[in-house]
Amino acid sequence: MVPLTISIQQIKQDMITADDVLSPSGHLIIPKDTPLNPRLISRLKLYNVKTVCVIIPDEVAEKLTAAAEKDKPLNPEKTTAEFKNFNRTYQDMAYDLEKACGQIINHPEEEFDVSSIVEPILALASTVKNTLHLMNTLQLMREYDDTIYIHSLSVALIAHTIATQQNLPEDQIRTLMLTCAFHDIGKLQIPMEIISKPGKLTEEEYAVIKTHPRKSYDILTRAHFPQEVCAAALLHHERCDGSGYPSGFKGERLPLFAKIIAIADVYDAMTARRSYRKEICSFDVIAEFEEGGYQKYDTTLLLPFLTGIAQSHINNQVRLSNSLIGTIVMLNQHKLSKPMVNVDGNFLDLSKEKNIRIVEML
């Protein structure tokens, strides 16, 4: 527990004074090591105390953070005309994608108009202002729905960000968007009770899930999709260190599209809200990628993507695991998940404060 000098606005019950609290005239108001209560907090305000050095016990931080989550108001972005239009467009696109998947599976011999799916994705991507805007909007979308089609469209928009960072030519981006739209089409041949299971899968169920890349490949091949699309659908769960499936291929055997979709797919899955857990904060997701991702994913794709996400949050307010609210002021290039945060004038280097992390973007 690190002593911190914080503003009176952030003082909460059960925080403990780390030093004697003195009045402006030097009189003792509250001694050191005193748990604060509403009466003492009122005394601080009465004496016009602006800041107090406190210790925040872990159990107090957890209680305050949980209370803040419970009392969190409706995100005002959901009420904007911009979001409502995005949501309506997204739902329409998901419906069109569902129909397209049905056509491809049931009538593979019929020619499919790829532009009917690709062009709306590109048009929607062009409305995205920046990385932060995209991630925030997708987060709100995932509170509404969590179907294969919504996920595939989200993966496409995230992959578009990665492709843009890599300066891929327009024709490759179009093919990548097509691949993203249908990379999970094989899941439609997996029993729904497995796909939508809210808890952890059994080994047998996971083995069934792992068949979906091969099913996607077979479906798209029968429908005469380009080979690079089929190959990326087959290989998007492979990893550069050989730990993926279905074949355990390593990095040199993986095409660019598969490596891009691998990152976008995992990022979207981790940031999505599930029935058994809330959505994961983007900095926790970055931390998970940092933990083992540099071996599993192509770092020439992953590092610019994670850096872009982290940079987009500079100057944004965040809630820390000790319940305090601060502002991200600087990134640590060697630990993107642990930036420098300003809390009431205390500059906390989270790469050195091992027990403090970002739990929520505000």
pLDDT at 274: 60
Instruction: Tell me which of 84 and 94 has the higher pLDDT.
Output: 94
Question: What is the maximal distance between C-alpha atoms in the chain?
Answer: 87
Enter the tokens of residue 176: 């990548």
- CATH class of the region 4-56: alpha beta
Residue 309 has pLDDT above 70, yes or no: yes
Cβ atoms 272, 151 nearer than 8 A? yes
CATH superfamily, domain 77-280, is Hypothetical protein af1432 (1.10.3210.10)
Q: Which residues contact 125 (CB under 8 A, 6 or more apart)?
A: 156, 157, 160
**DSSP one-letter code for 285:** H
Query: Strand 346-349 to strand 358-361: parallel, antiparallel, or no bridges (unpaired)?
Result: unpaired
Q: Got the DSSP string for 54-73? A: EE--HHHHHHHHHHHHHTPP
Q: Got the DSSP string for 210-265? A: TTHHHHHHHHHHHTT--HHHHHHHHHTT--TTS--SSS---GGGS-HHHHHHHHHH
- pLDDT tier, 299 (very low <50, low <70, confident <90, very high otherwise): very high
Average pLDDT over residues 329-339: 94
pTM of the model: 0.89
- pLDDT tier, 231 (very low <50, low <70, confident <90, very high otherwise): very high
Instruction: Tell me which of 361 and 231 has the higher pLDDT.
Output: 231
- pLDDT tier, 143 (very low <50, low <70, confident <90, very high otherwise): low
Which of 245, 253, 196, 259 is CA-nearest to residue 216? 245
- pLDDT tens readout for residues 237-272: 999 999 999 999 998 899 999 999 999 999 998 887
- pLDDT tier, 104 (very low <50, low <70, confident <90, very high otherwise): very high
Enter the tokens of residue 289: 């990628």
- pLDDT tens readout for residues 9-42: 999 999 999 999 998 888 899 999 999 999 999 9
